[in-house]
Each structure stands twice: as structure tokens, then as C-alpha cells.
Structure 1
Amino acid sequence: MAREALRATAGLVGLTMGLTACGGGGDSGGPTAGPPRNGGTLRVIGSSDVEHLDTASANSTGSYGLNRTYARTLFGTRAANDFKETVPVQADVAAKLPSRENGGISKDGRTYTVKLRKGVQWNTRPPRPVVAADFVRGFERLCNPASPAGGIGYYTSTIRGMKDYCRGFAKVNAKDPAAIAAYQNEHAIPGVQAKGDDTLVFRLRQPASDFLNLLTLQFTAAAPKEYDKYVPDSPEFRQHTISNGPYQITSYKPGLSYVLSHNPAWRQETDPLRERHVDKIQLTLGQDSADAVQQQLEQGTADLSWDQPVPVTAIARLRRDRDERFNIRDTPSSSPYLVFNTRGRTGGGALARREVRQALQYAVDRTALIKIVGGPEVAEPLHTIIPPGNAGHFASNRYATAGESGDPARCRLLLAKAKAPKDLTLNFPYRIQGTHKRIAESIKENFGACGVKAKLIPDTGGNYYGETLADPAKAREGVWDIAAPGWTPDWYGNNGRSLIQPLFDGRTYGPNSTNFGGYDNPQVNALIDSALTAPDQGRAAGYWQLADQKIMEDAAVIPLLNRSLPIFHSARVQGARYLPTATGYDYTRLWLSR
């Protein structure tokens, strides 16, 4: 088994989609040819605000797209409608990609030296240069006690001395901005150092073939010294964001709206990944009906959806009409998956027992879920942690059922063998926008056929991730027992780390962790370590596969669907280019026809 797993290769090999991306028209983002037109207001509408706006803790696809407009990282990826073009790492604020050949990466793979691009500035008064110390500050903020990064494990497992730095930071008063700033300013991360204003040196615990990918994530964006005044991601912080990108937030009404306008300090020649065509970006929230959002896009009273999918009822019509405003974009993901709260006390801690979770694997009718989200052109059944199109994926189905329709009889039998409570009732919070309610209702019906009651709880406050799933206290209290989040990898290519580590490394469980269910298996943790220290991508992929197999043996979650994204824009939108990690179009590169 291990030898077979270790034969896998990572990187771009295997980036063959299980689904075929398609749409109504071409990939130009609109029917009008010609050069970009500047001006106008891009109108984006949707349902809920981001859980976190601060780049240190922002960890949703919506926040990725928003952060990109005003917060820059050392490296990034380019928006494109050809999936393969979105994968390679590109220089952003860094002047170039470091390599062994140009001396940017040491021979032992443990030291990275990054030179900064000249001319990148903050929109302060007067504008001032973005310097290496600003990136150091960004790293120092990642494990702040108030709003730590959900992906902190990426960096504590990679950067020298960061784990100890974070351990000390956890003891600081999370409500005192002065204490938080003092810790940052009085303690250093040995593996992140500024050498003058234009050079950063990273020292790693061991070689990491995906380290440049980690430096593309918005967690690692530069942070200006002004951020020391505020508790990270606090309401006060959210009113005082500072920009080094093409746009700046000029108005923010929590839960209601954003307005972004031109950052006067930004210059096109300093930014290889973004452009700037529209004058303003108006984001209006509170639109909880996907049908209403779609109607506004088709009528031209809005331009893009923020977080509402194209309604399933519209997909067949748009495909049939070959509508040039519509496409289905490649976004290899686990969306949604069902996660079990292994830390709760419901049913005497029933979900902490592997045998109960294994029985429930047979409950779900995936064919019903595929119909709900738009059919086989949009989704396919998923049975592994790592979806197709991602490093380390392998085809396996440990809990197979006939026709993907579930096996309630076997589910009931195994629950009885596991001596699960006969009156087991599970709290099941769900998001109200899009297809989430119908998915939750379908799973509730499936569990009911197994003799397990699911109590549906609508999340009407937009706090599904930040204040429910990512709060260990809520898990312990049994506020939720099962949930159906989605997971889009933080990056593609050499990305095994972005699928297994954040969701299943038990050592990173805590506030803001994306290991929502609190799963912790020392064998899986050890496989994660082996993958992270593997000498090449192929061997790393083998360890990720072994971890996947063990997680599925433990039935920590129920993988449900691998989905592409049906996406629509108004007739005004031209030049739209897709960002898979943001599940949306890059706001900085499109323009408006009028």
C-alpha cells in the first residue's frame, strides 16, 4: 500500500479535472473586444459580511478577493480563465522569484532571501514605501491572541522559532492593543528577519518545497505600523485599514456595505498582478436570495455576485441559451463536506466514537446533492479528503453505496452495533444563502432514514465560520454537532499541505482553527510531518495520500461533492478573469463597457 502511494506525483501532473468547465460563451469575460475602458462603479451584491477582514485572520474565499484589492503579499497568482495559468507562483511585492540558481534559496533549502520591488507605497499621508519590516510585522501578527490566523500551522511548522514565538503570544491580553503591540515589538521570530528596507530573510526548520506558495497567502501580507494601535480585526481596526494595492476602503458599514476607491499611492508599474480600471467598487450586503441577486445581474442593475451562486433553476437555461455572461469555472474543492464535532457531549459524546461516524458515512445520498447544486456538469461525488485536481489525490471509496444513493439499512445496522443512542439528536447549523438550506434538508432526511434526528439551525447572522465552527467553546457546549462547510484549497499545484494540515492537524486546534471538529490522531499528525519534510513533491504526495486514507478510516468527515463554480456577470463587465482561490473574478482586472 505504501509503495503504491509513494508513486504519486504532485505539482501540475494530475491537474485533470473530474468535471468539465464550460459555459455559454467565450472566455473573454464579455462579448466586447478592444482595449480596457477606465471608469465607472462596479456593483457587487450578496448576503453576508466576511468573518475576518484583517489579513492576519481572513480565511474565506470572499475575503481573499477583497483583500487582494488593497493588501499585497510577496508573491501571488495571476487571475485567468485557463485554470493552468492560475497555478504558478508569481512575484508580487518581491522583485523576483528566488531560486537556487539566482541565490535566493540556499543549497540546503532552508534559507530564502527575498528582495523587495521598488516603488510600492502605503496610502498614508504622505505616502511612504512598503519596507521589509512591514512584512516582518505581518508575520508577527499571525498568532496574535485576539484574532489569530486560521492557517497558522502552515508557518509554525515551517519557520524557525515561530512556534515558540506564538506560544508566548498566546499569554498576552487579547483585549489590550498596547500589550499586543508590545509583544510584537519586543519579541522576534528568529526565522523572519529584515535586512535593511529592501531584503527579507526566511530561515526554515527544514526544507519545504511549497514555501513560496505559503508566501502567496493573504495571511502574509505586509502590515503597516499603524495597525499596532488596534486589536487585530476589531471593529476599530476594520475602520482603519491601510492600502498598498490599487484600491482602498473608503467606507465600511459592517454587515451592510463597502466602498472601495482608487488608492492614489498605487502605481501600475509596481504591480505585475493587478490592474485598475473601474473608479469604484460598491459592495452591498444583505441580499439573501440567490434568485433576487441573479435577477439583478441579468437586468444589469448589479454586476457581480459576492457570495450567492447562480441559482440551480437558472443553470440549464443559461447553458441552453449559450449566454456569454455565464460560465462554469474550474475550482477543484470539497464543497461541501460534512464535519463531525468530536469534542461535544451530545449523546454521551457519540460523535467522538469512530464506529458511530463510520456508520453515518453510509447515510448520505450524493445523487440528491448533485441535483441540488446543478447537476453533473457542476458537481461529482467525492469520497476522499483530497479532491481530484489537487496534489496527492487518489481514487478511493471506502464506504461505497449502490448508485451513490446511500444505504440507510446498513447505517442503522452499524449504529446499532456501535450502541449509538437510539434517540440521538444532532444540532445542525447551516448557512441560509444559496443551496445551503436545501443541502442541509437533504442530509437531515438521509440521517432520519438512519434513525438519527438532525435539528436544523439557520445561521442568520453571517457568523457561521467565525463565531460558530471556529470557536472551540461552542463545540464543547454542543452548539453544533454536524455542519456542512466547504473547503477551497488556499492554493493549487503543490498543495497537499493546504488540504490536510489546516483541516485535520490536531495540534493546531484552538480559536480560529479550521480543524472545526477538533479531530486529532497522532498517526495523521506524524504523516503530516513526514509530508512536510519530504525531499520532493512526489514523496510528499504519497504521505498526503496515506493521511487521507487514515482520516477516512477514522471517518472524521463525510466528503460530499467536488464542485466547479457556475458564475455570472452583467453585460457591462468586460475582461473578467477568474481567481479559483477566491471563487470569483479579479475585481482589479475587469472593466465596464459603460
Structure 2
Amino acid sequence: MNRRSKAAGAAAIMAVAAMVLSGCGGGSSSDSSSGEAKTGGTIKLVGTDDIDHLDPTGSSLVSTYTFQRAISRQLISYKASNDAKEQVEAQPDLAESMPEVSSDGLTYTFKLRKDAMWSTDPARAITSEDVANGFKKVCNPLLPSAAASYFNVIDGMEQYCAAYDTKNPTAANVKQHILNDNVSGITTPDDQTIVFKLKEKASDFIYMVSLDNVSPVAKESLDYEPDSPDYRSHYISSGPYTVDEYKADSHLYLKRNPNWKKASDPLRAANADRIEFTFGVSADNAIQQVSNGDADGLWAMNVPAAQWGTLQATNGDNMSTFSQGGSNFLWFNTLSNNNGGALKKTDVRKALQYAVDKAAFVQKLGGSELAEPAIGIFGRGVVGFDEKNDPYKTDGNKGDPAKTKELLAKAGVSNLKLKLAYRSDNATEPSIAQIIQQDMKKAGVDVELVPVPASDFYASFMTTPDNTKNGKWDIALCGWNPDWVGGAARSVFQPQFTYTGTAQVYNYDNYNNDKASSLAKQALASSSTSDAEKLWGEVNDAVMNDPPVLPLYSVKATLIHSSAIKNASIFALAAGYDWTNVSVER
């Protein structure tokens, strides 16, 4: 097959990326480098929650990238930067350069760096087979990735995944399938070359391979059940750090990967000797520790809006904001028969779009510096977002309960009673839920609050189909950030708003919109930036004309670090500071 040069292939890819995330990201820290970065020292991070998964295959939270950045590598990743444009520019990581792309846009060839090393003893290089293993593992039945369906764009991937033993899955038969069976669209001509053949054009493929879910997999790690205690105690790292000690609900300590070579890694400086995560620390205590310098940063939490202004007065030079491109929705349960199945009616869901005061949410979340009303399925900076396109706009974004009442009456619905699920121990959601309850009351809708512990909300409550079908919730406060940065529209649309007969983890009621899916396919095949942008806008319009969600608000990540941290900059995938690139000066 005729191939373009690497430069031409990369140029075509980046042309589509050029339109995205203008104005997304940003934020800064005044701690800029005043010379050569110092090495050594320990970075101390504190937070409430334990990690979700140490095994990158199962990672599903934005915060997970905070430590995965240190202990795993991907074909493509991003620089740590305080420049909004640079934050989202795809960069070679394990790949030595951007991929060579065939003239038909269906074949991607990556060459690997020869001196990227596992943390094994004896040391060995990361090979193309290890990279291929990461893609094969993404759909394993013991720990399938929520992102697995993205990779069905690779020829033969669906067939490979279907061949896993799902009736009696064990570590042994997962290992057997990964090591002995192949995906037809993934080939490894030599140890430093991996080739992907796609079923259809995917202008965002380079961004997909930046996900930690497809990090390379060392064959030795396949002896253990994915993310099991044995896996965690025998973790094999591809990054500059590896696991020194992990204790559930207590801590994760990282030490240097002794085999890592700085020359092999253009994206991580690895200045500190150790990175230590401590769990079980309350939000107030964690923020106080960072403010006082007893800790260096927050783990899996942001600075609450209520404390932002006060901390700015004392720690402003060590604080940043970052626009993540995400949105928070009120998700409608269209599978339940509660209220006679009222929420199954498009006109009812349209009526409720006018019920809430989005301006009150913004005020509660710290004002326009930290939040803004959401108006569609895409957040600011994601292709398809258009701040002028709000199909349910109200005066000052304050809502119109009278209009909701009127439209509900036209839809033949009265005495609507809705159960609102939310994270009870989240810093802001209890207050947001109360505002929604009060707003809905004005529109003649009674709302019963259903508090759910944050640790259970996504892990079990929202993702258990019986809870949806049996009507344990009618509306739910849910958030979504793009799974990658750059050409990220697919990573918002596909996992939440498509259903082809196989349930997706975060499409809570199997919503599907054929018109939107057809438009999305056209957008992904387009090599024209303007055409793709227009098509993604039409995807948004199609979904919001049959709305499965009520867009509420978008918030910025609010970050703080101690004065001991120098050269702090943003790693966009983590929506936080890149601790592999800071230095510690105590």
C-alpha cells in the first residue's frame, strides 16, 4: 500500500486537531524555572479516596492519570505545559515520532524507542509485542476497560474480544488468549514496529492511543489476575517510577524505576526521587496541609469554590485553574416505568430543560471565574461546542419554570415525582441537588433526594442496570470529561450516547440516536476541519432534540501546590499538575 511520509501523515492528523480546544486549558503557576531543575526529594500528595485501579487497563477516572503518568507510558501522550495550545498537542511518547499514515488514512505505523525499559530484573526493553498486548488486554473479561469500544475501529478487534472465555474467565486463559492469539489489524513486523489497520477512517486515532487503558503490558504481569492484590504487589512499570508500597485505603508510594532512561522519555523529567500518595485525608485537612506546606498537592480532589478566594489571598502564586472540556448533566432514566413512564417521552424531557436556574449553579460553584452554564453534550473547547447554540436558552440562564409547567401540560403529564440521585459526600453536589429540588418545585415537579456515597455512585449505583430498570432513580447528577484531549468529541459522544445492542458502562439507559451516530461517523471520516466541526455541531443538535440529559454546568479544575514545588505545569489528561516534571525545593 502506498504510504505518505511521516510528515505528511502527521500534518493531516494535526489539521483536524487544530480546530479543537482553542481556549481550553490554560491556567498557570508563577513558579517558573529559574535555572536547571533540581533533582531528588519526595513529593507528598494527600486526598480522601483510594485509587480506582492500579492496573491501567481498568482506569476510568481522570485523577488516575495523576499516578499513571509516573508508572506507565503510551505510544502518544502530551507535554506538561501552562500553554493552552501546547497542552493538547499530541506528542510521541513510547513512539519515537508521530506515526506514518497511509494515503487512505487506514494504516498507522509506529516506530518505538529502543531504550524504553520495563522495571523488570533483569532489565528488558519494551517491545512492539508488549504494546500489542496492551490493546489485546483492553477487553479482557476480568477487567474490561470502559474505553474498550473505541478500539473496535481496529480491524479484527471485535472478533478478538468476542473470543475471550467469558463463561469461566481466569488469569490463565486471559494470558493464553493475549499471548497466543492475534488481532488481525495489529501486526508487529519487528520489536520496534507496530502497525494498526483500521476498518474505517478515524481522525482521532492518535488521541485514542494516548489512553492509559492501552499502555504496554509486560508478559510477566499476565501471571496475575488483572488489578488483583498479587498484580499490585508485583507491579511492572513502563514509566520513570514504579510501586514501592501500596496499602488499600492508606497509601501508594512510588519509587524510581531503576531501569528508566531519561534519554528515552522526552515527556517526563522525573526530578523527584519519590511520589507518595496518602489516602483517607478529609478535604479540609488536605487543603490545609498543602497550604501550610506539610503536603505538596491534592490527590483526586480540587480546591472547593468556597475556599478559592480565601486561599488566593495567601497562596495565589501556587494556584491554577484548568478548563477540562467536561460538563455536568442531569441524566434522565428512560427505562423506568416510574410516573407511568413519563421520562420516556421526548416532550417531557424537553420541558424539563427549562426548569433549572443554571445561573444559581454558577454562583454556587464560585462564579464565572470557575464555572459556566452547560448548553449541550460538549463542553467548551471540544469540537461541536458552540456558545451561541443553546436550544433551551432562558433569560440570564435563570430557568423558566412557567414554561416547564406549560410544556408538561401539553405533554399530558402532571404530578411528576422524580428521584434525584447524587453523590452525598461530594463537596458541591448536595447543594446543587437542593437547588434542583427547589427549582423543580417551582415548575410543579416534586423531587425526592437520593444520596449515594461517592465511592458507590459510579462504581455500583449508576452502573447497575437493575437500579435503572427498577426505578431507584429518575434523574441523576452525572459528570463527564473527555477521555482524551485533542480531537475529543468521539470520547464524549460514543460512550454516553450510543447503543448498538451491547450495554456501555456510562450510557445508563442505553440511549441511542441513529441520526447523531450517522453524523458522527461522517465527522470522524472527514479530513476537513471546518466540515468536521460543523458535523459535530449537528451531532449535538440531534442529541439535544431528543435529550437524554439536561446540561447543567461546566467547572474548571481548581489546583494548588505547596511553595516547595517548582516548575509546576499542567498535564491535560489528568486535569492537574504533572508531578513527573516538577522539582522539590525544601
User: What is the TM-score of this pair, normalised by structure 2?
Assistant: 0.91
User: Residues 490-542 of structure 1, C-alpha deviation per residue, up to 9 Å, x if partnerless?
Assistant: 2333222222122212127525x232342112222222222222343432222
Aligned residue in 2 for 1:569: 561
Whole-angstrom distance in 2 between the partners of 1:508 and 1:54:
28
Aligned residue in 1 for 2:351: 359
Aligned residue in 1 for 2:98: 97
Q: Residues 293 and 308 of structure 1 are in contact (CA less than 8 Å); yes or no, is this contact kept in structure 2?
A: no
Aligned residue in 1 for 2:60: 59
Count of aligned pairs: 571
Report the alpha carbon displacement of residue 472 of structure 1 after superposing the two structures with TM.
2.9
Amino acid at match of 1:119: D
Q: Residues 56 and 68 of structure 2 are in contact (CA less than 8 Å); yes or no, is this contact kept in structure 1?
A: yes
Whole-angstrom distance in 2 between the partners of 1:16 and 1:207:
24
The reply to whether residue 263 of structure 1 matches residue 257 of structure 2 is yes
Report the alpha carbon displacement of residue 73 of structure 1 after superposing the two structures with TM.
0.6
Moved more, 311-320 or 133-142: 311-320
Which secondary structure state, in structure 1, belongs to the residue aligned with residue 320 of structure 2? strand
Which secondary structure state, in structure 2, belongs to the residue aligned with residue 554 of structure 1? coil
User: Residues 194-251 of structure 1, C-alpha deviation per residue, up to 9 Å, x if partnerless?
Assistant: 1121110110112222211111111221011123223333444333321011111222
Aligned residue in 2 for 1:5: none
Amino acid at match of 2:92: A
Whole-angstrom distance in 2 between the partners of 1:431 and 1:50:
19
Aligned residue in 2 for 1:559: 551
Q: Residues 519 and 538 of structure 2 are in contact (CA less than 8 Å); yes or no, is this contact kept in structure 1?
A: yes
Which secondary structure state, in structure 2, belongs to the residue aligned with residue 386 of structure 1? coil
Q: Residues 174 and 180 of structure 1 are in contact (CA less than 8 Å); yes or no, is this contact kept in structure 2?
A: no
Q: Residues 243 and 254 of structure 2 are in contact (CA less than 8 Å); yes or no, is this contact kept in structure 1?
A: yes
1:175-186 paired onto structure 2 within 5 Å: 175-186=169-180
Aligned residue in 2 for 1:166: 161
Aligned residue in 2 for 1:101: none
Q: Residues 22 and 85 of structure 2 are in contact (CA less than 8 Å); yes or no, is this contact kept in structure 1?
A: no
Whole-angstrom distance in 2 between the partners of 1:79 and 1:509:
37
Whole-angstrom distance in 2 between the partners of 1:510 and 1:370:
33
Report the alpha carbon displacement of residue 160 of structure 1 after superposing the two structures with TM.
0.7
CA separation of 1:332 and 1:211: change in aligned 2, threshold 3 A: same
The reply to whether residue 497 of structure 1 matches residue 490 of structure 2 is yes
1:92-131 paired onto structure 2 within 5 Å: 92-98=93-99, 104-131=100-127
Amino acid at match of 2:270: R
Unaligned runs of 5+ in 2: 1-14
CA separation of 1:353 and 1:218: change in aligned 2, threshold 3 A: same
Whole-angstrom distance in 2 between the partners of 1:87 and 1:132:
25
Report the alpha carbon displacement of residue 427 of structure 1 after superposing the two structures with TM.
4.1
Whole-angstrom distance in 1 between the partners of 2:519 and 2:470:
31
Q: Residues 366 and 405 of structure 1 are in contact (CA less than 8 Å); yes or no, is this contact kept in structure 2?
A: yes
Q: Residues 132 and 197 of structure 1 are in contact (CA less than 8 Å); yes or no, is this contact kept in structure 2?
A: yes
Report the alpha carbon displacement of residue 320 of structure 1 after superposing the two structures with TM.
5.0
Whole-angstrom distance in 2 between the partners of 1:478 and 1:556:
16
Question: Which of 523, 528, 537 lines up with 2:515 in the alignment?
Answer: 523
Report the alpha carbon displacement of residue 303 of structure 1 after superposing the two structures with TM.
1.2
The reply to whether residue 200 of structure 1 matches residue 194 of structure 2 is yes
Question: Which of 438, 448, 457 lines up with 1:445 in the alignment?
Answer: 438
Aligned residue in 1 for 2:299: 306
Q: Residues 110 and 203 of structure 1 are in contact (CA less than 8 Å); yes or no, is this contact kept in structure 2?
A: yes
Report the alpha carbon displacement of residue 403 of structure 1 after superposing the two structures with TM.
1.6
Amino acid at match of 1:12: A
Q: Residues 136 and 178 of structure 2 are in contact (CA less than 8 Å); yes or no, is this contact kept in structure 1?
A: yes
Whole-angstrom distance in 2 between the partners of 1:349 and 1:193:
49
1:232-247 paired onto structure 2 within 5 Å: 232-247=226-241
Amino acid at match of 1:405: K
Aligned residue in 2 for 1:12: 18
Whole-angstrom distance in 2 between the partners of 1:458 and 1:226:
42
1:280-291 paired onto structure 2 within 5 Å: 280-289=274-283, 291=284
CA separation of 1:322 and 1:141: change in aligned 2, threshold 3 A: closer
Q: Residues 385 and 537 of structure 2 are in contact (CA less than 8 Å); yes or no, is this contact kept in structure 1?
A: yes
Q: Residues 50 and 60 of structure 1 are in contact (CA less than 8 Å); yes or no, is this contact kept in structure 2?
A: no
The reply to whether residue 27 of structure 1 matches residue 29 of structure 2 is yes
CA separation of 1:456 and 1:160: change in aligned 2, threshold 3 A: same
Which secondary structure state, in structure 1, belongs to the residue aligned with residue 372 of structure 2? strand
Which secondary structure state, in structure 2, belongs to the residue aligned with residue 363 of structure 1? coil
CA separation of 1:208 and 1:134: change in aligned 2, threshold 3 A: same
Question: Which of 564, 580, 589 lines up with 2:581 in the alignment?
Answer: 589
User: Residues 80-126 of structure 1, C-alpha deviation per residue, up to 9 Å, x if partnerless?
Assistant: 0111111111111111112xxxxx22121211111110111111121
Amino acid at match of 2:263: E
Report the alpha carbon displacement of residue 461 of structure 1 after superposing the two structures with TM.
5.6
Whole-angstrom distance in 1 between the partners of 2:385 and 2:420:
31
CA separation of 1:52 and 1:418: change in aligned 2, threshold 3 A: farther
Amino acid at match of 2:17: G
Aligned residue in 2 for 1:188: 182
1:103-502 paired onto structure 2 within 5 Å: 104-156=100-152, 158-169=153-164, 172-173=166-167, 175-289=169-283, 291-319=284-312, 323-334=316-327, 336-394=328-386, 395-420=388-413, 422-430=415-423, 432-460=425-453, 462-502=455-495
Which secondary structure state, in structure 2, belongs to the residue aligned with residue 200 of structure 1? strand
User: Residues 340-384 of structure 1, C-alpha deviation per residue, up to 9 Å, x if partnerless?
Assistant: 233334334333322222122112211111112111111111212
Report the alpha carbon displacement of residue 304 of structure 1 after superposing the two structures with TM.
0.7
Whole-angstrom distance in 2 between the partners of 1:236 and 1:174:
20
Which secondary structure state, in structure 2, belongs to the residue aligned with residue 195 of structure 1? strand
Report the alpha carbon displacement of residue 186 of structure 1 after superposing the two structures with TM.
4.1
Aligned residue in 2 for 1:3: none
Q: Residues 143 and 152 of structure 1 are in contact (CA less than 8 Å); yes or no, is this contact kept in structure 2?
A: yes
Aligned residue in 2 for 1:534: 526
Amino acid at match of 1:263: N
Whole-angstrom distance in 2 between the partners of 1:117 and 1:542:
38
Whole-angstrom distance in 2 between the partners of 1:53 and 1:473:
28
Moved more, 191-200 or 559-568: 559-568
CA separation of 1:94 and 1:36: change in aligned 2, threshold 3 A: same
Which secondary structure state, in structure 1, belongs to the residue aligned with residue 70 of structure 2? coil
User: What is the TM-score of this pair, normalised by structure 1?
Assistant: 0.90
Which secondary structure state, in structure 2, belongs to the residue aligned with residue 385 of structure 1? coil
CA separation of 1:58 and 1:398: change in aligned 2, threshold 3 A: same
Q: Residues 145 and 173 of structure 1 are in contact (CA less than 8 Å); yes or no, is this contact kept in structure 2?
A: no
Report the alpha carbon displacement of residue 150 of structure 1 after superposing the two structures with TM.
1.4
Which secondary structure state, in structure 1, belongs to the residue aligned with residue 50 of structure 2? coil
Whole-angstrom distance in 1 between the partners of 2:467 and 2:275:
36
Amino acid at match of 2:83: D
Moved more, 86-95 or 342-351: 342-351
Report the alpha carbon displacement of residue 317 of structure 1 after superposing the two structures with TM.
3.0
Whole-angstrom distance in 1 between the partners of 2:427 and 2:457:
14
Amino acid at match of 2:204: D
Amino acid at match of 2:71: Y
CA separation of 1:87 and 1:448: change in aligned 2, threshold 3 A: same
CA separation of 1:451 and 1:232: change in aligned 2, threshold 3 A: farther
Q: Residues 78 and 572 of structure 2 are in contact (CA less than 8 Å); yes or no, is this contact kept in structure 1?
A: no
Q: Residues 78 and 90 of structure 2 are in contact (CA less than 8 Å); yes or no, is this contact kept in structure 1?
A: yes
Whole-angstrom distance in 2 between the partners of 1:461 and 1:487:
15
Whole-angstrom distance in 1 between the partners of 2:197 and 2:368:
46
Q: Residues 49 and 462 of structure 1 are in contact (CA less than 8 Å); yes or no, is this contact kept in structure 2?
A: no
